[in-house]
A and B are shown apart, each in its own frame.
Chain A
Amino acid sequence: MAVPWLAGRGGPRRLALGGASMLGQLVLVTVAALALIWALVTADFSLQYVANNSSLRTPLYYRVTGLWAALEGSLLLWEWMLVAFAGLAVWQQRARHRELMPWLMAVFSGVSAFFLGVLAFASPPFERLWPVPLDGRGLNPLLEDVDMFTHPPMLYAGFVALTVPYAFAMAALITGRLDEGWIATTRRWTIGGWLFLTLGNIFGGWWSYHVLGWGGFWAWDPVENASFLPWLPATAFLHSVQIQERRGMLKVWNVSLIIVTFALTIFGTFLTRSGVLSSVHAFSSGPVGGLFLGFLALVLLGSFALVALRADRLRSQPEIDSMVSRESTFLLNNVVLAAVTFTIVLGTIFPLVAEAVTGVKLSVGAPYFSRVTVPLFVALLFLMGVGPLIAWRKASADNLRRNFLWPAVLSVVVAVALAVLGVRDLWPLLALTLSAFVLLTMIHDTARAVAARRAIAGEGVLAALGSLLRRNQRRYGGFVVHLGIVLMVLGITGSMNFSQEHSATVASGETVGLGRFTLRFEGLRRMQRPTHERVEADFRVFNDAQELGVLSPALKFFPARQSPVGRAVLRMSLKEDLYLILSGFSEIKSGQATVKVMVRPMVNWVWIGGGVLVLGTLLVIWPFRRAAREA
């Protein structure tokens, strides 16, 4: 069974054979992945991986998703996606960039060889087990969720798609052909990767919020940071590449962003799989940590050494027309994003640094990250509002006044209104006000553009809007993405700053109250499920005197696990979520339950914002028209 890998490993590195070898890799890895899925579906417990990650009671859905339930399968999935994406990218570009091709394939093969090496030698998914157990251990109970199908594959897809721009950047650096051609062709890959990364993170938050049952969607845990980190330089790149497209400058910066993005995906995998930092996320770590560290060293040092050696060719003569211009705001946006990236990397590895230097063990957790990054994110929000209203190339004081007067005035009104309503803390007030500001500037700008369009073409309002969108997909798609982010900011601000919580131990018939909700405890129920046994506590929920139904948080007892897994329940609404966690209960007969009740305002806007963001991204990359010069 290890044959496919060994066969797929030594791919020739030159053009003629390169294509065939990549195709061969694709075929062989596909066979391997399908074989593992087949083994999972047919419950072939002679494979250790299958025995560890599924059981006879595991439903089909979780057997298939078992492919990425643990390290070996995840790596196989990663490799599978990698060869598929690489093949697609090479095939797409077969007619163009001929001179990049050999190196492109070499980089892809190199990355792929690394993963194949890890699969073949360090964490083989087809390890045999003898004697064959009658039943498997079953899926990790925390993974038993519908989201198992969305969050991990999306994250991997994002990570892997970002290998494509990296490979192009490396090929361009090696050949010294650093004109902007490849940047344009990899733009879609970058946006696609960015989209998957965003989705992966949002689904991760959703999962954490609905399944992990601690009441939040983001804990600033090292593993969460690891999946979020590549998103930041990728976002920065998507902005700064627009400057390069217009002016041919910032080449070194953009290439660096691509490298950093890719390196961070490897860094993230290293963090999650090495067990160097502790994390809430139950990840199987194996002996692969060292390998990933070596690969990370290779990628970071090798790529940047290349950049250093090529810096002379990358040098451009940067020039801009005015300090006050869209270019400037994008540059500032990049600086702030870089600062956020730096802060998160620093905070994530600081415990290690501190222990290495001083020998004292300390923690860097959520309170630190919130305090340090919130001002930076608020600054980003400000730039997001300013950017679209400043023209490319040059803006004069007169224009600034004209464009910003109304949005600024209205934002101040919003701020005052918020303060009157009771939002008095600085950061939430700023975040909400600036969100309003961003919305207002976007509306203002679109309105002006529609007016201009009507003046040019004499179209009606809707027709003008439509043709604007058609002619300027990227710009208005970008607006929609920004809108999504603003909605997410609303949700995050609301839930971070205005949550309430209360814990109480209640006997049957007693009540707990929080905010405008009252909950009456109606007793415990015990029930048997296919994979576990669960105890549910029924709470009848009242909003003032109005009954809203019953919520039943539960504790699940899995046979093979020592401690129970909590199942939180929540009642969602646009305004706020009511979130219930059963923290414990006494014997069924005396029937007491300890419950944690939380009211978390506006959380839903995070998910809604995520949806809007996806819509916007699709608007950007959807091929509505085939531009003559892009075809």
Chain B
Amino acid sequence: MNWKRLAIVFGLGVPLIAVLAYGFTRDPREIPSPLIGRPAPPFTVQLFDGKELSLADLRGKVVFLNFWASWCPPCRAEARMLEASWKDHQGQDVVFLGINMQDREAAAREFLREFGITYLNGIDAGSRIAIGYGVWGLPETFFIDPDGRITYKHIGGLDGPEVIHAKLDEARQGRLSGREGKGDYRSVQ
């Protein structure tokens, strides 16, 4: 009789504790993106040199799309590496495109000059593009295959050129990544 009651107590209590323990494996701040494998949301962005660029124009190429801001420390941390990686892939069927958001134009230009960045960069006024891509932390990087499909998303600073290289390759072949990548270093503003 007592054992039956005990069984009830443990039957209710243990799952509760288990669920709470499960919480340790999750990062509550993370927002998994539903966009991987879907067509990349189209946009037109005003580049820093004044020209306009539409994502549709880049169809047929692999697009490396990076959201950043000059005030974001992890963006600074990865900036040099991104530029170096761009130098490596330049001339192939790859386009690097940086989207600056929630920033002042002067500060953003200063950032580009400081890190000597040569790949395309544009300003997302009002963060409309960023919202379209479900951006919630900076930096965030999307890889888009030649058919205009998002194959991979990386949140936080990219760890090294190898990841970029590998993911560009996958995008070229249109292969989807099962899960998004996480650099632990990121700023959420």
Contact = CB atoms under 8 A, between A and B. Distances in A.
Please tell me whether chains A and B touch each other in their complex, using a CB distance cut-off of 8 A.
Answer: yes
B71 to A, nearest CB: 7
Contact of A278 (B1, B6, B16, B28): B28
Interface in B156-189: 187, 189
Interface in B3-51: 5-6, 8-10, 13-14, 16-17, 19-24, 26, 28-32
A383 interface: no
A4 interface: no
A181 B184 CA distance: 56
Given A276-B28, A278-B29, A304 B9 contact: yes
Contacts of A293: 17, 20-21
Nearest to A290: B24
Nearest to A271: B20
A124 to B, nearest CB: 22
Contact of A356 (B2, B8, B19, B28): B19
A307 B23 CA distance: 28
Contacts of A289: 24
A294 to B, nearest CB: 9
Q: Is the interface of B mostly helix, strand, loop or mixed?
A: helix
A361 interface: yes
A562 B13 CA distance: 42
Given A300-B17, A308-B5, A274 B10 contact: no
A289 B22 CA distance: 12
A301 interface: yes
A361 B134 CA distance: 14
A300 B6 CA distance: 12
Interface stretch (A195-203, A321-329, A347-355, A443-451): A347-355
Size bracket, chain B contacts: 20 to 34
A270 interface: yes
B27 to A, nearest CB: 9
A584 B30 CA distance: 27
Given A308-B8, A309-B2, A361-B31, A274 B17 contact: no
A300 B23 contact: no
Interface in A328-380: 349, 351-353, 355-356, 361
A78 to B, nearest CB: 20
Contacts of B20: 270, 276, 293, 296, 349, 352
Contacts of B23: 274, 276-277, 352
Q: Is the interface of A mostly helix, strand, loop or mixed?
A: helix
Nearest to A277: B28
B8 to A, nearest CB: 7
A297 interface: yes
Interface residues of A, number: 29
B2 A355 contact: no
Contacts of A352: 19-20, 22-23, 26
Interface string A553-568: 0000000001100000
Nearest to A263: B13
Nearest to A360: B32
Given A289-B24, A290-B24, A349-B20, A304 B13 contact: yes
Nearest to A222: B28
Contacts of B24: 274, 276, 289-290
A132 interface: no
Nearest to B31: A361
B52 to A, nearest CB: 26
A312 B29 CA distance: 47
Interface in B42-82: 71
Nearest to A300: B13
Interface in A506-544: none
A176 interface: no
A297 B13 contact: yes
Contacts of B2: 308-309, 311-312
Given A276-B26, A277-B28, A356-B22, A308 B9 contact: yes
B69 to A, nearest CB: 11
A376 B26 CA distance: 32
List 10 A-B pairs, minimum CB-CB distance, nearest first. Answer: A276-B23, A308-B5, A278-B28, A304-B9, A297-B17, A301-B13, A308-B6, A356-B22, A352-B23, A300-B13
Given A296-B20, A352-B19, 6 more contacts: A270-B20, A293-B20, A307-B9, A308-B2, A311-B2, A361-B32
Interface of A: 270, 274-278, 289-290, 293, 296-297, 300-301, 304-305, 307-309, 311-312, 349, 351-353, 355-356, 361, 562-563
20 contacts: A270-B20, A274-B24, A276-B24, A276-B28, A290-B24, A293-B20, A305-B6, A305-B10, A307-B9, A308-B2, A308-B5, A309-B5, A311-B5, A312-B1, A349-B20, A352-B26, A355-B22, A562-B71, A562-B187, A563-B189
